[in-house]
Structure formats: structure tokens, C-alpha cells
Chains A and B, each alone.
Chain A
């Protein structure tokens, strides 16, 4: 049945004059989301979707059509609509370049490595785990909210293109986290574990959720939230800054990942997501950061959220160098955008969120490679400054230059040692200035690939699962503030 529908859609899409067409059919697209707050159910929900998306390339225009109804008639209509859209786009467009990649097409099968299927773990056990965590967070009356959540996704995607590419992808993702909200004397503070905004996310099974051991970290998380309420406000000024791995991962995401998406660089996202300060001619010459900065977009990292077999144009997963020793060397790209700057092949970064969204250039796992310092050595080298952990606020301009981030936790660094807790820390900067102030990063034993399941982009909007490997990092002379800047 799946093959029939794929073929029916592709046949309908492949009308006269169509240069390329691809069909993605999701025969299984599941999401389970469980959240317990203060011992009560906040959300226990299970999503079970199906659908098919068709993308058509005519010489001067793209079109996309999608349906959640899996019948021959419905998928055929989606394909014809995609072609109708492509014809419409041709009226205002010029020739669309496209890499002819000799290594394509590919046929194959990709599956996540899953030890414990999260959908087979009894609900009772999942609820108990979250309830235990919530109880553990509630260390005193100041904790007004203890909340724990977990997510699991499973998708089975069938891909077929007019070039003969054909693959099946079975991907399982999981995530879990918890947060304590303490409120006393009119001051509210949050503390999360393993990081904020739902926790950490990975590709694989329930074994990841067990490994994060939410109940085992709950009391400490709750106590830190309470301590933050009465902690002094973070100091203000220009100082040395040590970022924990989770915050540095988000810094990479916002100021490197998005900035090097080639559709943004070329102006194709100007209306909503924005553009980039990076220009196509900067490749090989822009000093993005200090020599300690090497960043790769690697869709092959085992167990990471941005890992897959092939992207949604049939291009195999690959490792693309973005910044090497501080010099900008590459982009996140697609077959069209790669061709626009005369690259021989796509970087394999095209993905769509489910069947109803068109593929776009999305981050894979955009990773800052580790250095050689231990965490203690980083703090010692900072001498005087501040250490920040776990994002609570993030904002950056549409060219990815001017950023301001806030963190849950700060600790003053005095005489090369971590000092007292401070609350409401912020830091800000301009992307290349900031990255050029990178003096050192921590060693591989401290490096972690964080999963972010909600990277927003596109019109209509899409949320993508991406990964970011990051160590700790020491930056010099950064503008820091407490509460505001």
C-alpha cells in the first residue's frame, strides 16, 4: 500500500516539464508527551499521525503539496497541487540551479539504534518516574512548582524521488527534563535539569531517559532554585565568562548554526527568520572566531538528535566543516543553494517537519569541537569573572550578530575559583567579536551533544530536531549584567 501511494503521488507529480519530484510518506508519525506538575497531570498526550508531502521542481519554480489523507485520490491531488504551485512560482522566477550529484540516487534503510523502545515502556512506569522526580523537586514551601516531563517520537518515513532515490527511515527520539520554580518574597527563580526547556533530547530509546536519572537529581535541582531566590543579583560589567556546555550549545545554535544556513545567507528567509551577516564570499576568509573555534555540521554522530541516513532530497548524511580554527569554511546547504554558489554537492541539510511541511535547510548536529582544558583549568584561567549555566532567555537579531542571553545560574569566579551563586545573569555581544574572544574550551570528557527539539523556521512554521555538541568555553571581556544590561 505504501509503495502504491508513493508511486501514485510521484507519477502525478511527474508531469510534462517537471525537472525533479520527491515524495515523503509518513506511515507512522508518533509523539507521546507526558508532563506532571505538582503531582497532578499537566499533559498526558499521544499523537498518531500519517501523511504525505510532495515537492516538485520545474525549471523556474518549486511547489509543495501535502495531505494527511492517505488514499490514491488524496495523494494524487496533493501532487497535482504541488505541480500547480511550481507552475505558479515559474511566473515570477528565473532558472533554479540544482546540483547533479553523481553519487545519487541512493536506496537503503536507516534506523535509530534503540535498546528500549519508549513506546513499549509501560505508561505506569513513565508516570511513576515523573511523579518521583516532581516529589523530589519539592524540597520546601518556596518551591511553588515542580514539573517533570518526557517525550518520545517515532517516525517511519518512505522516500521516493524522480531520480530513483528510495529509502525508508525509522527514527526514534526521546527527551526528558524537570524544573523547579521557587517563589519567595516576590522573587521567582527557575532551576532545570539536565537543562531547560524540556531537558535533554537524544536519538534512541528509553535508555537515555533512564540515564538522565531525574529522580536522583531532583533534590539538588529544587535546592538550587530555592537558593537562587535569595542569591545576590549577578554583577555587571565587562568580564571573563565561562559558559557551561548546555549554554554554549545554544550559543552555537543561534550565532553559528542559523548564521551559516545558506538559504538565509542567500536571502531566501529574509521575510521571517532573517538573513545573515555571513556572505557567500566569506567562505575561506572570514575570521569567525579565535583559533580555538572549530565547528562541524555532522549528521552522522551516533545517538544525536540531528542524525539521519539521508536528507529530504535523498542526499546522504555527512560531516561538513563550518569553521576551522576560527576561519569560516562552509555552509549548511541544499542541492539548490549549493549550486547557487558553485559547490559541487549539497551539504545534505534539507529536512521537513513531518509530511505537511516542505524541506528546508535545517541544522543537523552543529558541534563545537572540544579543546584540552579540564573544567577546573578553565575556571583557573578565567581568574576573575563569571560562570553561567542553563539558558533561560535568548534573543538575537535577524542577521545573527547582536545577541543577548540569560541563564538560570551564575557563579562568581574569584581568584580562579568558583564563588557564590548569583541570580538573573545576562550576557551580550556581537557574534564575531564574541567568538574571537574564545580563549579555551574544555576537553572531550566534558563534551556533550545536546538535543534541541524545537528549532523554529519557515513559513508555514516548522519545528526541527537538531543537535549541538559543545564543551565548556572561556571567553574574555564579555559584557555581563544582572537582571538587565
Chain B
């Protein structure tokens, strides 16, 4: 076992892999270095450093017989084994209907503009100092308990295929979340803040702490009866809903299989006209990603335009079957979750004009929801989800926060609540749902005229 450090250029390494393949293939090289400052119980706890590199190879035999293998053993023997594995799988694979082959493209490197030399190097000391200030800031509470995480990764994805495509994208991913609890209240109260950005200097732990602290109530939560209330959904809650939506009917597989809302006989349901939602991996307010896992350059496209649904996300295969062009939404073929088919991973809600104060005034009487927890599909076809509120749920009357409310269970249709959206916030932010830069919606707050809470708690 003699794994060598990964020092050779991505293009050369992938060329070496592809040269060993008999037939057509594409290959991906991942190189990632992550630093995670995880904090819990108001201390830095289980911080993490990780350096990894791996190659995935997808071999296509005649008739669309496809096999995929992946390895982190980048020695000559390891790469030989990789090719044997992928080829063996392809030899036995039932054909994939209408596989069009791999996309052609230019040779040579292209580089993402999202990573710069200034941001590529982890800035551990600066972030540690920020964290210390942030933890100290929370000392004003009677019994603070602070938790959260700061992740910073320097990531490279290179894709090449036997049709001549060869691309490299480098990027920096920075993401953080901050939870402040005051255990002196009974039940305890909490506040939450989070952000993701390609530039680590935009992810300021002390600023996040200040925001979470400001949102931490100074009195215990009051229970509220289940029912339907007008709500202001803050960014983290909207991001979770959009992430669920991206997996629930916006991909080509859902359309092919006939269960997507895009295929409803009467036409796809409309959402509020005030909502335009795009899939825009190039938006530099978040975590730009310049190509998908087949090497197709990303290009922004509308998913909903002024409330009207557009087509699903495609990769090369599903686009060929639908007779359209790929939208650049291929997932990593080696990942089990790629069985979901192409998905939009960078949903962006076009900002409105409403400030938070204006949205609160328009809310009048209702509930502010900051964050949702453990959201799952109840019925994917109906876009019906359920999940709990968490860390910052408040009762509002006369446009003013009155008191925190005990957590509630949301059970509602995502398309329904988006259809009932009255106002779209002015300020948008990127949230990274997976903490590794993959699912990264950019969203503002939404004012929704009616969200169904199916049950309540006393905490």
C-alpha cells in the first residue's frame, strides 16, 4: 500500500485515468482540505481538520451500459483497480435508455473566479480570535450556552472525459452557524444566526453571535394553540423549505416518472407572482459553483418566473431523453444520492423590496419562524412536508414581537405556502444546508398568509 501525495496537476491525473479505459468514460478528481471549528457548551469542541483526494470514473460501454467506481488510492495500482472496477460494472450493467454519450468540450484548464489566493489559505488564527470574542459577547446572558460551527474548505473539482472535455473549478467554501441559549429561562430560550459565503471574511463569527444574541428572547416561551397563522419565515426556514423543494419535483426524474407537480394534467400550480426563483450557481452572494459534475458549465435559469413554474433540472442523459439541452445539474455519479437524478442545488429567490420592519408591520398578528428542524416529506407528490420550529419562534401583534412562543410542528404544502406569499424580503443571504458547499440556496425572508401548524409543544 503506497499511496502517493496528490501533487500532479488534475488534468494529468485524469488523463492518466482515462487513457487506461477501453471505450468512453468521464472522470472526476476531488481535492479538498477542510477546517471545522465546532463549538458546543460555550467552548471550542471537537475541531476538525481533513485533507482528502479521490477520483471517480464512469465508464460507458456500447448501448449505454454504465458503471461507476471511485477511489482515494491514487497510486498506479489504485487507478488500475479503479478502471477495472468501473469497466467490470459497465460490462454487466443493463443499458440506460437513450444514453447520448459524454459531452464534448474544450481541453485545458478553466478556473473558478470564486477562489482567490487571499481566501484559499485557511485563516484559522483569525477565526479562533473571532470565536473567542463571540463566546465572550454571550456572557451578558444569565446562563448562556453557545453552540455552532465554522467550516472553511478549499475545494477543487476537475472533470474530464474521452470526448475531449477537461475543466477544473476551484472554490473556497465558508459557512457558519451560531446558536445562543439562555438556560436560566424555564423553558430555555434561544436565538439563531447563520450564513455561507465564498469569502471567509464575509462569515464573521462575532457578527453572527451578535445577531443570534439579539434574537435570543429575555423571557420564557408561551405555548400557542396549533392552527393556521400568518407567518414571517426568516432566511434559515426559507432555505430549508427551498432545499426540500429542490428534491421534490424539480428534477427530471420526477418528471419522467410522472409524480412531479410539473406534470400535473391541469398544469403546474402557480406560486405567488411576487416570487421568482432561479437556479443560479454563479451568484457570488453565496457559494458559486461554475460547473456540474459532468463538467457542463452552469448557467442561471428560472425555476419559477413570477410564480409560474418552468422546466425541470437536467443532466446530459435526461436532457437527451427529453429532447432538450442539459441545464448543468448533474450530480456526482458515484454518490448514492445521485439516484435522485439531476437536481437544482443553488436555488435563488429574487429579493423583493420589503424591509424586515415593513414585513413585521404587514404581518400584524402572527408568528415569526426563524429555523425549521428535521423537515421531511409527508407526501412528496403533494409537496407536503412536516418539521418543527426551533431557535427563535415569536408571537407578533400589532407588528411587534410580543414574546417567544413554544415550538410548533409545521405540516403544510410547500407549493401552497409559496402561493400564499405576500411579501418578499429585501435582504437575501446564502445558507449552506449540507455544510460542505453543495446545497446552498440564497433566500430572503418571506411573509406567508397562512402556515399550518399541526401540533404544539410547551418548550
Contacts and interface: CB of A to CB of B under 8 A. Distances in A.
B237 to A, nearest CB: 14
Interface stretch (B147-155, B160-168, B420-428, B442-450): B147-155
Contacts of B436: 460-461
B390 to A, nearest CB: 6
Contact of A398 (B128, B258, B390): B390
Contact of A48 (B85, B373, B377): B85
Interface in B65-84: 65-74, 78, 81-82
Contacts of B396: none
A396 B372 CA distance: 11
A25 to B, nearest CB: 10
Interface stretch (A80-88, A202-210, A292-300, A438-446): A80-88
Chain B interface size, as a band, is 35 or more
Contacts, number: 285
Interface stretch (B44-52, B110-118, B272-280): B44-52
A93 B49 contact: no
Nearest to A122: B92
Contacts of A36: 94
B53 A402 contact: no
A484 B384 contact: yes
Contacts of B140: none
B86 A46 contact: yes
Given A74-B51, A404-B455, A46 B379 contact: no
A189 B381 CA distance: 9
Nearest to A48: B71
B299 interface: no
A41 B40 contact: no
B162 to A, nearest CB: 19
Contacts of B177: 271-272
A314 to B, nearest CB: 18
A64 B5 contact: no
A13 B259 CA distance: 53
B89 interface: yes
Interface in A392-429: 393-399, 401-402, 404, 406, 424, 426, 428
A48 B70 contact: yes
B455 A428 contact: yes
B216 interface: no
A460 B70 contact: no
B199 interface: no
Interface string B1-13: 1111110000000
Contacts of A398: 373-374, 388, 390
B89 A402 contact: no
Contact of B67 (A37, A44, A78, A186): A44
B409 interface: yes
A62 interface: yes
Given A46-B85, A124-B92, A93 B51 contact: no
Given A40-B95, A123-B89, A183-B258, A426 B47 contact: no
B49 A74 contact: no
Interface stretch (B101-109, B333-341, B354-362): B333-341
B181 A270 contact: yes
Given A64-B48, A270-B145, A181 B54 contact: no
Interface in A161-197: 181, 183, 186-188
A85 B1 contact: no
A460 B34 contact: yes
| Interface footprint category on A | 35 or more
Interface string A52-85: 0000000001111111111101100110011011
B96 A40 contact: yes
Nearest to B4: A71
Nearest to B181: A270
A44 B66 contact: yes
A358 to B, nearest CB: 6
A402 B386 contact: no
Nearest to B90: A44
B41 to A, nearest CB: 5
Contacts of A92: 39, 42-44, 131-132, 135
B376 A395 contact: yes
Contacts of A269: 40
A297 B76 CA distance: 44
Given A93-B44, A395-B388, A68 B411 contact: no
B205 to A, nearest CB: 12
Contacts of A379: none
B62 interface: no
B27 to A, nearest CB: 14
Contacts of B94: 36, 39-41, 127, 131
Nearest to B334: A45
Nearest to A485: B454
Contacts of A70: 1-3
Contacts of B374: 395-398
Contacts of B377: 393
Contacts of A395: 374-376, 386-388, 409
A51 B72 contact: yes
Given A1-B1, A48-B70, A394 B376 contact: yes
Given A64-B48, A69-B5, A266 B41 contact: yes
Contacts of A430: 457
A270 B147 contact: yes
Given A41-B94, A44-B93, A78-B49, A71 B435 contact: no
B378 A41 contact: no
Contacts of B373: 274, 397-398
A43 interface: yes
Contact of B457 (A144, A268, A271, A401): A401
A275 to B, nearest CB: 9
B71 A49 contact: yes
Contacts of A284: none
Contact of B411 (A62, A69, A124, A485): A485
Contact of A404 (B81, B131, B409, B452): B409
Contact of B47 (A44, A89, A406): A89
A67 B51 contact: yes
Given A65-B49, A144-B258, A461-B435, A47 B376 contact: no
Interface of B: 1-6, 34, 36-54, 65-74, 78, 81-82, 85-86, 88-97, 124, 128, 131-132, 135, 145, 147-149, 151, 177, 179, 181, 257-259, 264-265, 333-334, 336, 338-339, 373-381, 384, 386-388, 390, 407, 409, 411, 434-436, 452, 454-455, 457, 459
27 contacts: A2-B1, A43-B333, A44-B67, A45-B89, A47-B69, A48-B78, A48-B81, A66-B50, A66-B52, A67-B51, A68-B72, A69-B4, A74-B51, A84-B49, A91-B128, A93-B44, A183-B257, A188-B379, A266-B41, A267-B147, A271-B39, A393-B386, A397-B388, A402-B409, A406-B378, A460-B50, A484-B454
